[in-house]
Amino acid sequence: MPPASKKKKSTREYIWIYGCPTLKEGCFEFHPNVQEHIEKSFNRGKKMCQIYVFGDTWDLDLVQMIKTKKDDHDKYQIKRIIPSKAKKYHIQGISEAYYKKMEGFRQTDNICNICLYPPSIPTRIQDCGHEFCFACLKSNYMMGLECPTCRGRIPPELFRDPKRYDLPIDIECPVEYANDCTSMFALTEEGKCSANSSVQLRRSQRSTRTKYYWIYQATDYGWYRYDPKNEKYLEESYIRKKSSCTIFICGFKMSINLKSNVQERISEGEVHRRKIKRIKAGDLKNHRVRGISGIQSYAYPVISE
């Protein structure tokens, strides 16, 4: 995936960074989605501005140069620097996601060797350079497997509280998968499907031009958007008025109740339930969405007049 943020970075006159909590103790660039907002607020002489990052709203004090979070006393130093001075600060990454090292082998074919589709949420193993869907690689990791291409090690860090700065919240499902998913549903319907209901379906599909996302409740707080492939499957089931369906997430079988909006996983006799929701893409900001598929990645400027 082309790192869009990198291109932007080079054209930026200033970079906004923050410390943990002081700059000396380690620092990160602010998320690319909020850099411009902070810079504009600063240039307009605003004393404060707000940003939303990974589920939290932050207040930036542009006079005292600190950032704070509601109900939290900790203050984090912030600073506006010119890119040529960045080296001086030992910046570790962007928005608590460490910089990606892109040296070494780079996979040129755009296929996940696990599902054989173009990767959904492309995820690269740094050591060997092989790239897979985030969910495909995670399921292999959970099963104790190695890199399916070269048998190299899959680093656990990839799945430990993952954060990414290059994962737009509106990423699409790979077209190849989306098409296969739709035809598979159509195929199982053939025969039992009367002309009448297929007209109904076409109608309902037409009326769902509005983009919808499927989100699930995180274990601690907030919500995550489903991986686009699972989301596509949920949406296909939903528009066909199915009351339930089954999806696999990282090797686990999840039963989805599309009437009561609950995801259930049964493991060792215990039932783990999560709330799920189908929301309009435009309503994303009304939910505390932290990212996609358990990866914290969603950030945007909070605009208030």
What letters, b where the CB count within 10 A reaches 16 and e where it falls short, cover 235-253?
bbbbebeeeebebebbeee
Question: What's CA 137's distance to the chain center, in Å?
Answer: 15
Rounded least distance, CB 190 to Zn ion, Å:
27
Query: Among the candidate windows 93-101, 152-160, 161-169, 208-216, which touches Zn ion by CB under 5 A?
Result: 152-160
Rounded least distance, CB 189 to Zn ion, Å:
26
Residue 280: enclosing H or E segment and its boundaries? strand 270-280
Q: Per rule CB under 5 A, is residue 128 in the interface with Zn ion?
A: yes
Rounded least distance, CB 188 to Zn ion, Å:
22
Query: Among the candidate windows 77-85, 106-114, 179-187, 198-206, which touches Zn ion by CB under 5 A?
Result: 106-114
Looking at the Cβ atoms of 112 and 289, the one nearer to Zn ion is 112
Rounded to whole angstroms, the Cα distance separating 99 from 87 reads: 13
Rounded to whole angstroms, the Cα distance separating 165 from 155 reads: 19
Q: How far is CA 229 from CA 1, 169, 278, 284, in A?
A: 17, 14, 15, 18
CB 132 within 8 A of CB 145: no
Looking at the Cβ atoms of 154 and 169, the one nearer to Zn ion is 154
Q: Per rule CB under 5 A, is residue 114 in the interface with Zn ion?
A: yes
Q: Per rule CB under 5 A, is residue 66 in the interface with Zn ion?
A: no
Query: Among the candidate windows 24-32, 51-59, 114-122, 231-239, which touches Zn ion by CB under 5 A?
Result: 114-122
Out of 91, 136, 249, 254, the residue judged to bind Zn ion by CB under 5 A: 136
Q: Per rule CB under 5 A, is residue 171 in the interface with Zn ion?
A: no
Rounded least distance, CB 175 to Zn ion, Å:
14
Q: Per rule CB under 5 A, is residue 148 in the interface with Zn ion?
A: no
Rounded to whole angstroms, the Cα distance separating 78 from 27 reads: 9
Q: Per rule CB under 5 A, is residue 147 in the interface with Zn ion?
A: yes
Rounded to whole angstroms, the Cα distance separating 299 from 289 reads: 9
Rounded to whole angstroms, the Cα distance separating 109 from 14 reads: 36
* Binding interface with Zn ion (CB under 5 A): 112, 114-115, 128, 130, 133, 136, 147, 149-150, 152
